[in-house]
Structure 1
Amino acid sequence: MRELHQFCCNNLLIIQRILMILLNRSTWQLAVISGILVGLSYLHMRLNFFVYFGFIPILHCWILNDKWDNLKSGYIFGITYNIISNYWIGTNSGAEFYVVILSLIFAVLYLSIFWGIAGFVYGKIKTDYNNFIALPFLIVTLEWIRSFGPLGFPWGNLALTQVDYLLLLQLIDFTGPYFLSFIIIIINLVVYKSLVKKDFFLKNLKIIVLLPIIIIAFGYIRIKTLKYLNHNINIAVIQPNIDPNEKWDYNTRKLTISFMDSLYNKAISLNPDIILFPETALPTYLRINNNIRNNIQQKVNQSGIPALIGTIDRDFDSLGNKIYYNSAIYFSPNEQFAMYNKIHLVPFAEYDLVPNFLSPLEKLNLNINRGIFKKGDNFTLFKWENINFADLICYESSFPRYAREFVKKGANILMIQANDGWLGKSAGPYQHFAHARLRAIENRIPIVRCGNTGISGVILPTGEIKIQIPIDEEVVFKEKISLNNSGTFYTYYGDVFAAISFVIFLFLGPVNCLKK
């Protein structure tokens, strides 16, 4: 223990000197530096650990400055961080370049507001003690609030940076993903306090060393003791790797359908229990295209293998107006097909968020009113023998509450259909796949993901990746999935930790603000 103490003293002094030199910068420079460090932790560059100290420069600003300066520096931090972590929004090949850039700018400016608020509120907290205690609860509260409403966006949650640290992730089947954000902010605060107060680290050395050991040991035990049932299901996954910009081209539509049919035949030859297609797998309204639908149903009947296929659906409302759904259709042998309509649509891209008073802007052709889909309202479960499974369509998989609801209703396995082909090989598809890993651990449920151009794969209830197909590869594969007793504390009780954090913050934050 004495050797450890001396080692820590020597190295801590060196680190202190280096970082204090770095912290001797202007407020806006520190905000940008912090934004770069935290933003890089989201990219698929194995820089996840940057987030453990990336907040230190902005914390330094917030502790030294008043609430209005913190509002500005927080917003600058947010802009820098969101440009880096969410740059992939600007790589969408499915819209005009200027529309994509406007979308990125709007997203960055909107999401950065939450960090400006964080800085402002942090600056109004009265005492140094509350500064230390309240910030993690504040960040968790803001992340939680940001996930609600039509503009809900969980892609910037700090938990997403931790998907490579499986032992740490095992906590979230009880706490939910927001606890990881709490831990990250705590680590940054501890490191910062250790830099500015020489004796802080040494006085708290036992706790600082012991807590990570406990968390790692818990994660290891949780992974090793997870029990599987003596029940397996074989699922074939089709990743066709079709350019989404060409799929609906009238001149190539027949070739696309023929190509998908050949991949379907290949999947049948693998003799799985179920075949999974990606989101909007075929360039047609499958439910109302009798020829193609009947052809698929005939293959399902002959092979005895069910198929879950992503499709666009078209219907009519009571007034005779056309309505569209982003759907999945499930074919079972010798049975009527079943359907699920996507519940959480992508704002602007899939449904209209433009208020009536802004309708004149449509004349400017800014593509702000292009969303045409109607959201579904039923959490539909599909069935194979005595196994229930559910389907999350693309964007839905980034929201914990939808996966939880399906598992509460009895799903034994979750499918995810996606089409990230619009985003190429940017960070977007990798972050999307990372969300699936979080959903698997939160609910202790196996997940099978099928992407048009990738990333397809199988994720175990521990978050471990059993198989992962790279982007831009045409692959048909079969994998055996072992089932377990899905459902956790988090599944049934949800974001209790986030709600508690909100309540604690109300006492530590706004109550103190009223005193000023």
Structure 2
Amino acid sequence: MKNYQRLVLSVLSALFLFLSFRELGFFTWFSLIPLLFVIYKSNLKQTFTFSLICGIGFFAGVTYWMTVLPVKFTWILFVPLLSVIFLVYGTAIYYIYKKINQPYIRMFLIPAVWIMVEFLRSQTLLAFTIGILGYTQHNFLPLMQITRFTGIYGVSFIVILFNTAIFETIIFSIKNRKAIFKYLIISISVLLIFVIYGIVSVNNNLNRVIKNKGYGEIKLAVVQPNVLFGQKYSRKGIEVIPEPYSNYSYFKEGTELAVFPESMLWGLMDESKDFKKWVKEILKKEDMYLLIGQYSHDEEFKEYYNSAFLYNSNLEVAGRYDEIHPVPFSQYMPYPKVLGFLKFLDFSIVNLIPGNDWSPIEYPGKGKLAINICYESTLPSIARNIRNNGAEAIFVLSDNSSLDGSIAPWNHLIFSKVRAIENGCYMVHCANTGISAIISPDGEMVVRSDLMSKTVLYGSIYLIPEKTFYSRFGDLLIFLY
């Protein structure tokens, strides 16, 4: 194979992978085949080079939204850094092909190595989960139901298994000069088993939620204020107040909980007097609770937290959650003693203190709510741990205003959609500039908003105490495999 052919195939894989994350998920099912051909026909040096080219092409596409961030060169620095992941993939696959002659073993070993790397890059305070292949199938709901057992990595495994099976089929057929489909049949059989399970699971789950009247219900108003990045805190909270539902009530009659996004107030409630006056009157008059994101602080204004507060109808604090995993370089400087040389990347307003309490918030008379703030919903372990600690629904509060009209808010919503399925519970995704949604336990969006619009979504969720296998045991099946 000539180097120009390797280049074309590497770029082709990068293109297919990129398109997979642009709502064309069917490309994922054969996206790795060109890269596998390159690695199969290359030495180690060539594998390094063209794996890196594929990684750069892929991550340059899926992270292009970073160009709208306040620090413009973030994207330029992140792309080559993330592309190192493809060096790891390429090197591992190279040695598998060189050392193992059994196609069946290779066919199952390559997906195992791939998802192991995906899992590892979802850990630590520097975790970055953009580009995990399983998310490309978020609309393939029957297949996505296996995440109740395996998490998102199980879907990645199936997708990569299908790619390796097609590749082994092509290689075997070329060598034997006749079409042999036994490897492809195995992968299709595995896929069908999980899809059939998913179809049955979706139907059973809907019946369980709809027909079982024992589940507690919360009627919600999900507020999307659409306050632009440069306008936050300009009017000390007045800017986040939505338009009234009618002349007779501010929120739709029967609403029990109003949900506002991340960091809508700077400081404690007393520091936003006009907003406090408005909301206290509304909560009392309409007998509601309020869940809202605030940048809170200690009495000496030395320590700041990205918090979510639950207030009762008297505007008394009923519960609080502090963000456990702030966004690195955006909300705080991670590992400052080690990464101090990267201080120029840090554009945080204050250096947030990470929380350490994985407990859900108790909603009196209703049940327990898990809170994920912003970036946290991209990390499966946070939602899973709080769910395993007793949460019966998950709320994601996010401020995507710095992302403008890019595809990033849609990608963020996909993470929440997958968390709902993994944990078998309702998910409420409340974003400042959108996209906001209420998501059912099977991944259906019950109601959703448009991006960059000021609106209020109304709907109900049910509090489901039963946990999925994944909620209870996490990535156990991946470790065992």
The residue number in structure 2 matching 1:37 is 16
Letter in structure 1 aligned against 2:14: G
SS in 2 for 1:104: helix
C-alpha displacement of 1:32: 1.6
SS in 1 for 2:316: coil
Q: In 1, Cα distance between the equivalents of 2:172 and 2:339?
A: 53
Q: 1:366 to 1:118 in 2, by over 3 A?
A: closer
C-alpha displacement of 1:311: 1.1
Retained in 2: the 8 A contact 1:459–1:467? yes
The residue number in structure 2 matching 1:456 is 436
CA RMSD of aligned residues (A): 2.5
Letter in structure 2 aligned against 1:78: G
Q: In 1, Cα distance between the equivalents of 2:281 and 2:466?
A: 33
Q: 1:243 to 1:335 in 2, by over 3 A?
A: closer
Retained in 1: the 8 A contact 2:438–2:447? yes
Q: 1:375 to 1:209 in 2, by over 3 A?
A: closer
C-alpha displacement of 1:369: 6.8
Q: 1:357 to 1:375 in 2, by over 3 A?
A: closer
Q: In 2, Cα distance between the equivalents of 1:211 and 1:358?
A: 44
The residue number in structure 2 matching 1:212 is 191
Q: In 2, Cα distance between the equivalents of 1:82 and 1:487?
A: 35
Q: In 2, Cα distance between the equivalents of 1:455 and 1:473?
A: 9
C-alpha displacement of 1:70: 1.5
C-alpha displacement of 1:435: 0.5
State which of 35, 46, 50 in structure 2 corresponds to 1:69: 46
SS in 1 for 2:55: helix
Retained in 2: the 8 A contact 1:234–1:274? yes
SS in 2 for 1:390: strand
The answer to whether residue 418 in structure 2 is matched with residue 438 in structure 1 is: yes
Tell me which of the two structures has the higher relative contact order, counting C-alpha pairs closer than 8 angstroms and 6 or more residues apart: 1
Q: 1:293 to 1:47 in 2, by over 3 A?
A: same
Q: In 1, Cα distance between the equivalents of 2:362 and 2:55?
A: 41
SS in 1 for 2:456: strand
The residue number in structure 2 matching 1:469 is 449
The residue number in structure 2 matching 1:418 is 398
SS in 2 for 1:156: coil
SS in 1 for 2:443: coil
The answer to whether residue 215 in structure 2 is matched with residue 234 in structure 1 is: no
SS in 2 for 1:235: strand
State which of 109, 114, 131 in structure 1 corresponds to 2:80: 109
Q: 1:375 to 1:355 in 2, by over 3 A?
A: closer
SS in 2 for 1:463: coil
Retained in 1: the 8 A contact 2:166–2:184? no
Q: In 1, Cα distance between the equivalents of 2:198 and 2:289?
A: 37
Q: In 2, Cα distance between the equivalents of 1:258 and 1:369?
A: 22
Q: In 2, Cα distance between the equivalents of 1:341 and 1:149?
A: 18
Letter in structure 1 aligned against 2:439: I
The answer to whether residue 100 in structure 2 is matched with residue 127 in structure 1 is: yes
Q: In 2, Cα distance between the equivalents of 1:307 and 1:406?
A: 20
Q: In 1, Cα distance between the equivalents of 2:65 and 2:122?
A: 19
Retained in 2: the 8 A contact 1:167–1:218? yes
C-alpha displacement of 1:156: 1.6
C-alpha displacement of 1:472: 1.3
C-alpha displacement of 1:201: 4.2
Q: In 2, Cα distance between the equivalents of 1:347 and 1:358?
A: 11
Letter in structure 1 aligned against 2:16: L
SS in 2 for 1:26: helix
Q: 1:500 to 1:63 in 2, by over 3 A?
A: farther
Q: Which has the higher helix share?
A: 1
Query: Could you tell which deviates more after superposition, 484-493 or 460-469?
Result: 484-493
Q: 1:110 to 1:209 in 2, by over 3 A?
A: closer
C-alpha displacement of 1:487: 1.2
Q: Percent identity?
A: 29
Q: In 2, Cα distance between the equivalents of 1:24 and 1:51?
A: 24
The residue number in structure 2 matching 1:344 is 325
Number of equivalenced pairs = 462
SS in 2 for 1:128: coil
The residue number in structure 2 matching 1:373 is 352
Letter in structure 2 aligned against 1:71: F
Q: 1:151 to 1:195 in 2, by over 3 A?
A: same
The answer to whether residue 176 in structure 2 is matched with residue 184 in structure 1 is: no
Retained in 2: the 8 A contact 1:169–1:219? yes
C-alpha displacement of 1:339: 1.8
The residue number in structure 2 matching 1:60 is 37
Letter in structure 2 aligned against 1:217: I
Q: In 2, Cα distance between the equivalents of 1:321 and 1:473?
A: 34
C-alpha displacement of 1:297: 3.7
The residue number in structure 1 matching 2:118 is 143
Q: 1:264 to 1:75 in 2, by over 3 A?
A: farther
Q: In 1, Cα distance between the equivalents of 2:158 and 2:164?
A: 10
State which of 261, 265, 274 in structure 1 corresponds to 2:257: 274
Letter in structure 1 aligned against 2:80: L
Query: Could you tell which deviates more after superposition, 353-362 or 481-490?
Result: 353-362
SS in 2 for 1:439: helix
C-alpha displacement of 1:451: 0.9
SS in 1 for 2:53: helix
Letter in structure 2 aligned against 1:184: V
C-alpha displacement of 1:354: 6.6
Retained in 2: the 8 A contact 1:48–1:162? yes
Letter in structure 2 aligned against 1:286: L
The residue number in structure 2 matching 1:299 is 282
Q: In 1, Cα distance between the equivalents of 2:413 and 2:272?
A: 34
Letter in structure 2 aligned against 1:416: V
| Partner deviation per Cα, 1:329-377 (whole Å, 9 max, x = no partner) | 1111247303211111100001113744775776xx6656765111111
Retained in 1: the 8 A contact 2:227–2:239? no
Letter in structure 2 aligned against 1:240: P
Q: In 1, Cα distance between the equivalents of 2:52 and 2:128?
A: 17
| Partner deviation per Cα, 1:215-273 (whole Å, 9 max, x = no partner) | 22211100111112313221111111121222234xxx25x615616559965343301
Q: In 1, Cα distance between the equivalents of 2:196 and 2:112?
A: 25
The residue number in structure 2 matching 1:6 is none
Q: 1:432 to 1:70 in 2, by over 3 A?
A: same
Q: In 1, Cα distance between the equivalents of 2:179 and 2:201?
A: 32
Q: 1:361 to 1:89 in 2, by over 3 A?
A: closer
SS in 1 for 2:391: coil
TM score, norm. by length of structure 2: 0.89
Q: 1:264 to 1:359 in 2, by over 3 A?
A: farther
Q: In 2, Cα distance between the equivalents of 1:140 and 1:381?
A: 33
The equivalences for 1:162-181 within 5 A come to 162-181=137-156
Q: 1:127 to 1:455 in 2, by over 3 A?
A: same
Query: Could you tell which deviates more after superposition, 482-491 or 289-298?
Result: 289-298
Structure 1, unaligned runs of 5 or more: 1-19, 502-516
Letter in structure 1 aligned against 2:262: E
Retained in 2: the 8 A contact 1:237–1:477? yes
Q: 1:189 to 1:200 in 2, by over 3 A?
A: farther
Q: In 1, Cα distance between the equivalents of 2:46 and 2:106?
A: 16
Q: 1:332 to 1:82 in 2, by over 3 A?
A: same
Retained in 2: the 8 A contact 1:174–1:488? yes
The answer to whether residue 471 in structure 2 is matched with residue 491 in structure 1 is: yes
Letter in structure 1 aligned against 2:66: I
SS in 2 for 1:238: strand
Letter in structure 1 aligned against 2:419: R
Query: Could you tell which deviates more after superposition, 367-376 or 334-343?
Result: 367-376
C-alpha displacement of 1:150: 1.9
The residue number in structure 1 matching 2:64 is 87
| Partner deviation per Cα, 1:417-451 (whole Å, 9 max, x = no partner) | 11112212222111100011110010100011111
Letter in structure 1 aligned against 2:320: M
